[in-house]
Structure 1
Amino acid sequence: MEYFRIEGGHRLQGTIVPQGAKNEALQVLCACLLTAEEVEISNLPRIHDVLRLVEILAYLGVEMSWPTLHTVRLRASNIILERLGEPHFREQAGRLRGSIMLVGPLLARFGLGFVPRPGGDKIGRRRLDTHLQGLVALGGVLDYSDAEQGYWIRTKGLAGTYMLLDEASVTGTANIIMAAVLAKGYTEIFNAACEPYVQQLCRMLVQMGAKIDGIGSNLLRIEGVASLKGCSHRLLPDMIEVGSFIGMAAITGGEIRIKDVNFKDLGIIPLSFQRLGIRLQLEGDDLLVPAQDSYEIETFMDGSIMTIADAPWPGLTPDLLSVFLVVATQARGAVLIHQKMFESRLFFVDKLIDMGAQIILCDPHRATVIGHGHQFRLKAAQLTSPDIRAGVALLIAAMAADGVSRMLNIEQIDRGYEQIDIRLNQLGANIVRAVE
């Protein structure tokens, strides 16, 4: 089993390029099933979740080649539908929550899909109702198989309809969009997620011949077409990785330049870091995090404690709240971190408290962080990564701590961050990947 040995106290210095966006990658890879023609996807991160989905697509019969390390060409001209019912598919798809987005394209093009029991991060309730209700509204018929521990979904033909989503689910919206583009007639999706990655999926589908209006809003209008063609698509930089690098630079007192961040698609992420007192400079499309010996959390105009909370786009992504929480431990001042969407994502704070952080866990959704600057340094500890985002947050804490920390279950981090140890060591970190 691999683990990280992390020596804290090293300032980061230098330039880093963010990887392609993980969440976008999972969506657009599934979209290749909508056409028999070749689809090329570039800036694809070689991370565990992406490579696992690529393996699943290959198992279903998708032909692929890699002209470069981060570019893949896919052709779904000979899909083997019989493999949906095989144990290997159920096992592999069940280990990757993003595999749920295979269902919409398969149902739209072939009239058949299978939804296994989902895997992914254990961060609380993450129901699939939005996906399934949307596909049923378009004409899918569900049939639960107790023996196969999942849902078969079939149709003799999808038809456009109006739907109001019960929640603005990003993957749910993506799944329904991919089904609707080949459905007969018009589909209106209200309360649709409008994150940049959903916008990217829509733009890719338009390249392929889909007819989609309202891209970037929460009301999408889709006119179904008979078939789609191939295309070339480049992923956005990963906004979660950009935010992670900002936090790493700030908490270590370092100075880094994050290249080509696609600033307009970062939303309020930069502003939220500035509320913690972190200075940022935009130079072209590069984001410079200058060295600071200290940073002070703002208060609201009436003097009340600053609150940083997640919200659907254009609000703050929940994937970065763990990073904000850790960075706040070494600030001056206090902040309330409110994780609204997932009830288990703050439980990792117990480890931060063991490291010396001043945190009050109010309930499963809220934590108050009292920062004392670097007056009280975090202490090294034995750590375990519970999920991708909390794992990176604990890695950041270890990078700022006095002494040498040991982190287990780093496969969780590898699911979302490509060669994070190598890339951070190039900036001056001291992270050793070892095997016990």
Structure 2
Amino acid sequence: MSSVFEVRGGNRLKGDIIPQGAKNEALQIISAVLLTPEKVVISNIPDILDVNLLIELLGDAGVKINRKDRATCEFQADNIDSAYLESAEFKKKSGRLRGSVMMAGPLLARFGKAYIPKPGGDKIGRRRLDTHVIGFEKLGAAFAYDNDDNYFRLESNGGLKGAFMLLDEPSVTGTANIVMAAVLAQGTTTIYNAACEPYLQQLCKMLNSMGAKISGVGSNMLIIEGVSSLKGCSHAMLPDMIEIGSFIGLAAMTQSEITIRNAGVQHLGVIPDKFRQLGIQLEIRGDDIYIPQQDSYEIQTFIDGSILTIYDHPWPGFTPDLLSIVLVVATQAKGSVLIHQKMFESRLFFVDKLIDMGAQIILCDPHRAAVIGLGRQHKLRGITMSSPDIRAGVALLIAALSAEGKSTIHNIDQIDRGYQYIDQRLRNLGADIKRV
């Protein structure tokens, strides 16, 4: 029996909250320790299920792991057990974790072979691995699919060689995986239409500090001159921008005064502006974000008076992970907005729960929802619901915290996969939330 959250909404919250390290950066950065036999120290690691599973998987594969505390870990991959990587146990364990695909690039680069399970993780639509595999093939790896155990095998007989490639989509994990393979390839690799998210910039910064030669970081064209080996390094992860966006939305929905400390403001891109378009006041104070208590917030229109549309787009556009949050926050605003989720086709299906709570939302199709803000004239009401994926889970949690009465949220393992000690941290702000 997995645990549930019981939430009694309506409390105004107050205080400071510090965002965790970025989940999506962690999965790439931690896989990169496989690229060197030397020590790598990583700090600001989020203490969440997906990240802990990946660390455990590396340990099983022979990486020496010394966890100084929950946020800091020392890795040394000087004695990898390649037989384990072909074992049934590795296949089973890595299949549970979406992030395990990130081990493929480093393993291929350093040991000449890698195995990728068919992806697990969120049910938010199909996530293709084509970008990863085609990139590895361009670098000279051979690829085979094993039907018996749902497994992709990659081998680079004769080593990887640099190549020019134009990615079919600017996939963040795809770009990261190809970059990790290319840093040890012979010759120069050029990746055009590369993702340029802050997470990826962090990965490139870390690899360069280990002796890699990557230029164009932050742009959509990366040029990588292969080197023969990499050394150890220390790396601190960025704060999680999805958590930061979630806390901004939470403050507005619950009419709370909250300061988000150490928010890595320079790496947030358009996120603060998107929340301002919903009418939410926020002040940047150094590296903190202060959200004052607001009785109401009004969605802006476009300059010609037409209804605002908020859609996701690869960086530096708006991240798809925050659209669920924006949608929930819009339900209590004054005014209307169209939310257009382009990248994943089933991320908006959680709106039926919000409609049950009293929100005015028209789900136009799997990609678009029109939200008619209630302007706080009617509070949402608490219901029993289940979390379909990490981000919708937190969106529903925010709705519950602003609703009247008691809400029960099932399947909260989905929330725990992406947010560390979320109930405890919200209680510190005055939320009425229990894990049962």
Residue 138 of structure 1: aligned partner: 139
Residue 58 of structure 1: aligned partner: 59
Residue 327 of structure 1: aligned partner: 329
Residue 434 of structure 2: aligned partner: 432
User: Does the 8 Å CA contact 2:359/2:374 hold for their aligned counterparts?
Assistant: no
Secondary structure of the residue that 1:135 maps to in structure 2? helix
Deviations 1:272-317 (A, max 9, x none): 0000000000111100011000000000011110001000000000
Residue 420 of structure 1: aligned partner: 422
Q: Which amino acid aligns with 2:139?
A: L
Kindly report which structure 2 residues correspond to 1:14-413, keeping only aligned pairs within 5 A, or say none.
14-156=15-157, 157-413=159-415
User: What is the CA–CA distance in structure 2 between the aligned matches of 1:322 and 1:294, rounded to whole Å?
Assistant: 20
TM-aligned CA deviation for residue 68 of structure 1: 2.2
User: Does the 8 Å CA contact 2:37/2:77 hold for their aligned counterparts?
Assistant: yes
User: What is the CA–CA distance in structure 1 between the aligned matches of 2:279 and 2:430, rounded to whole Å?
Assistant: 23
User: What is the CA–CA distance in structure 1 between the aligned matches of 2:270 and 2:283, rounded to whole Å?
Assistant: 15
User: Does the 8 Å CA contact 2:7/2:407 hold for their aligned counterparts?
Assistant: yes
User: What is the CA–CA distance in structure 2 between the aligned matches of 1:137 and 1:327, rounded to whole Å?
Assistant: 44
Residue 10 of structure 1: aligned partner: 11
- Report % sequence identity: 62
TM-score, with structure 1 as normaliser: 0.99
TM-aligned CA deviation for residue 146 of structure 1: 1.4
Deviations 1:207-227 (A, max 9, x none): 000000000000000000000
Deviations 1:146-201 (A, max 9, x none): 12211110012000000000000000000000000000000000000000000000
CA RMSD of aligned residues (A): 0.6
- For these two proteins, the number of residue pairs brought into alignment is 434
User: What is the CA–CA distance in structure 2 between the aligned matches of 1:131 and 1:11, rounded to whole Å?
Assistant: 45
| Range that drifts further, 62-71 or 31-40 | 62-71
User: What is the CA–CA distance in structure 2 between the aligned matches of 1:164 and 1:16, rounded to whole Å?
Assistant: 41
Structure 2: gaps of 5 or more residues? none
User: What is the CA–CA distance in structure 1 between the aligned matches of 2:57 and 2:141, rounded to whole Å?
Assistant: 23
User: What is the CA–CA distance in structure 2 between the aligned matches of 1:68 and 1:117, rounded to whole Å?
Assistant: 32
User: What is the CA–CA distance in structure 2 between the aligned matches of 1:414 and 1:144, rounded to whole Å?
Assistant: 32
Deviations 1:97-148 (A, max 9, x none): 1111100000000001001111010001210000000011101101111122
Q: Which amino acid aligns with 1:7?
A: R
Secondary structure of the residue that 1:372 maps to in structure 2? coil
Structure 1: gaps of 5 or more residues? none
Secondary structure of the residue that 1:359 maps to in structure 2? strand
TM-aligned CA deviation for residue 69 of structure 1: 2.3
TM-aligned CA deviation for residue 395 of structure 1: 0.4
Q: Which amino acid aligns with 2:366?
A: P
User: What is the CA–CA distance in structure 1 between the aligned matches of 2:342 and 2:318, rounded to whole Å?
Assistant: 11
Q: Which amino acid aligns with 1:305?
A: I
TM-aligned CA deviation for residue 373 of structure 1: 1.1
Secondary structure of the residue that 2:373 maps to in structure 1? strand
Secondary structure of the residue that 2:433 maps to in structure 1? strand
Q: Which amino acid aligns with 1:402?
A: E
Secondary structure of the residue that 2:222 maps to in structure 1? strand
TM-score, with structure 2 as normaliser: 0.99
User: Does the 8 Å CA contact 2:346/2:366 hold for their aligned counterparts?
Assistant: yes
| Range that drifts further, 173-182 or 78-87 | 78-87
User: What is the CA–CA distance in structure 2 between the aligned matches of 1:364 and 1:82, rounded to whole Å?
Assistant: 43
Q: Which amino acid aligns with 1:40?
A: V
